[in-house]
Structure 1
């Protein structure tokens, strides 16, 4: 019932304003753009000159507040006003309580019976939830672990940072938006803890310098004995690199030594073979000389003058006087007189007669074959 009466009163004021002369006033300064968080207040000011009769405030084209010189006409409890005087001018302030996301849009201040107005833009940001899964985290000392912080239902997406309240040898973090929810993002913290403490995830609305945080307790436990032994036997990176270089140099040295030894062995073997071949050549030379000497000795015992032709026969016959005694003895033992060959070189039997001499160390004997 009260809202109906307010509507009627607003209509009457507007009609009264239409009949009044208001051509001498104007808007000196209009409202300015504003960005606020959802659930907070938004304030807009409109400065007008003296003589005004009616000021109207509209949100996205709908009049939500009307103000007269005597009192405001309120149709919605979320929209209220305040008035100030400054240098003879009037300042009308519209206050929006419990701003909702649907309130984002154009704000306009206008005067009745005047074609002048001024407008601004209202931006609404939403601060959603911020959570870390689990109230208490238990991790192993000196072992890398991940802690996840999720910001859900934020508009626009906030920037996320971490406050590290634990001793850690290393930590880093990154944030990525969730693909299925444009108003949510996830930040992942990776750290290597060394002691107990707290981790705080902080989400900040950069334009408003507003933030929200959530804290979780981190408990660090000692690793199992097997892992301790394993960790104790591990070497640092610089030691592993030094060992690798040392082994490489040792391998190269061994290869060089093996090469030198092989070269020495081959050289010695070649020297031995050369000496052996020299000895063999000397032995072969001595043996050859000895055989040559023996051959020369044996060659003195052979009759190399044997020929079957007649000139050789005549030559052998010329040596007969040297062995005349032997021939005479043989003639007496055979009791046959000696008959020389005929003109054709044939003996008494008509066969060719061949004569040769046999040399010996003491005597030379002529033998005649018939």
Structure 2
């Protein structure tokens, strides 16, 4: 009886002093990646085994290591005061999901949980789109071949949008998820669909572009054109004032030029008419001086006491008429002595 109590006491002391630890307790990885586990005890040991879902895959003895599959590997991390090994699973598959067990000889087994997830594809079916401002457009995103069911979200110009209607369907051992986004075209934007599972640190995404066309008759465009900032209105007022001032100066300059041209033409016209009149007067004077006029002097004219060459006994004969003019001798003429006859034809 005393021996049994002593043995139980020694086992209790050993259990308290020896502590086996496995890390991490739970791990989630993507299919095709690595899974790593550490198992350690604070006492020197000579052996350790690793089991995956209850199947022995690694045996570690003092001088020998046995591995059942090339996908598995171990690394000795033992240091003074710590007996420690790392268990590595390469290229994990969905079948690896389950329990990973570390068993040190004569110690209690330590268990960790492994979860293997799958990354699928993400694509926006509609691709790039063009819309008139104010019109609603719909984008449909498909996340295909994911496990477990992925979280799908949207972002517009880098800002998250919480208006996504998820619709997931299980196909075999994966999920296909459709997500629809409806946006109102306000400005040209980048539209991004994002999908992820817990094993991923950053989501996968697909990006398309929404091009917004603005027409003059659209309501939004009219509002933008009418809602002019105060600074712009002030600048436009200054511009209009400067334009009006320059226009007025230009009109005044043109008016002055027109007045100068009109005065110059009037002066030139007056000078021309004066020259014409002067030329006509000179021509008339020259004509009279040469006797080239149509009329002739009256040859019946006689100076005091003299008669003309055509006087013949009181009768003057002229070449301009067949008529005879009666002439009286100066002695018989009692009228004024000075008498002239000038006939112009």
Q: TM-score, normalised by structure 1?
A: 0.48
The counterpart of 1:129, out of the listed 104, 121, 124, is 121
> Which residue of 1 is the match for residue 300 of structure 2?
none
After TM superposition, the runs of 4+ consecutive aligned structure 1 residues lying more than 6 A away are none
Q: 2:70, 2:51 → 1: CA distance?
A: 15
Q: For 1:117 and 1:33, how far apart are their aligned partners in 2?
A: 16
Contact 1:175–1:185 (CA under 8 A) maintained in structure 2: no
SS in 2 for 1:145: strand
SS of 2:147's equivalent in the other structure is coil
User: Could you tell me which residue of structure 1 aligns to residue 60 of structure 2?
Assistant: 67
Residue equivalent to 1:99? 92
**Cα distance, 1:180–1:115 mapped onto 2, change above 3 Å:** closer
The 8 Å contact of residues 20 and 107 in structure 2, kept in 1 or not, is answered as no
Q: Secondary structure at the match of 2:100?
A: strand
**Alpha-carbon distance in 2 for matches of 1:208, 1:87:** 37
Once the two structures are TM-superposed, the CA of residue 26 in structure 1 deviates from its matched residue by 5.6
Q: Which has the larger radius of gyration?
A: 1
Contact 2:154–2:162 under 8 Å retained in 1: no
Query: Match of 1:160, SS?
Result: strand
Separation (CA, whole Å) in 2 of partners of 1:48 and 1:175: 50
Q: Is the 8 A contact 2:44 2:83 kept in 1?
A: no
Is contact 1:141–1:194 with CA below 8 Å preserved after alignment? yes
**Is 1:39 matched up with 2:29?**
no
Q: 1:204 matched to which residue of 2?
A: 196
**More deviation, 115-124/47-56:** 47-56
> Could you tell me which residue of structure 1 aligns to residue 153 of structure 2?
161
1:187 aligns with 2:189: no
**Contact kept in structure 1, 2:154 and 2:164, CA below 8 Å:** no
Higher helix share: 1
Change over 3 Å in CA distance of 1:134–1:71 after alignment to 2: farther
In the aligned structure 2, how far is the partner of 1:87 from the partner of 1:213? 48
In the alignment of these two chains, the number of paired residues is: 204
| 1:57–1:110 contact (8 Å) kept in structure 2 | yes
Structure 2 residue ranges without an equivalent (≥5): 1-13, 224-345
1:255-305 CA distance string (max 9 Å, x none): xxxxxxxxxxxxxxxxxxxxxxxxxxxxxxxxxxxxxxxxxxxxxxxxxxx
Partner Cα distance (1:152, 1:62) in 2 = 33
User: Which secondary structure state, in structure 2, belongs to the residue aligned with residue 102 of structure 1?
Assistant: helix
Partner of 1:258: none
Q: Secondary structure at the match of 1:39?
A: coil
**Correspondence list, 1:327-366, <5 A:** none
CA contact (8 A) 2:194 2:205 kept: yes
Change (3 A) 1:207 1:193: same
Per-residue CA deviations over 1:167-213 (Å, capped at 9, x if unaligned) read 9xxx7622322346471222211111233332111123346543111
Residue of structure 1 aligned with 2:51, choices 36, 58, 81: 58
Distance 1:71 1:221, change over 3 A: farther
Q: Is the alpha carbon distance of 1:159 and 1:54 closer, same or farther for their aligned partners in structure 2, counting shifts above 3 Å? A: same
* Partner Cα distance (1:166, 1:123) in 2: 31
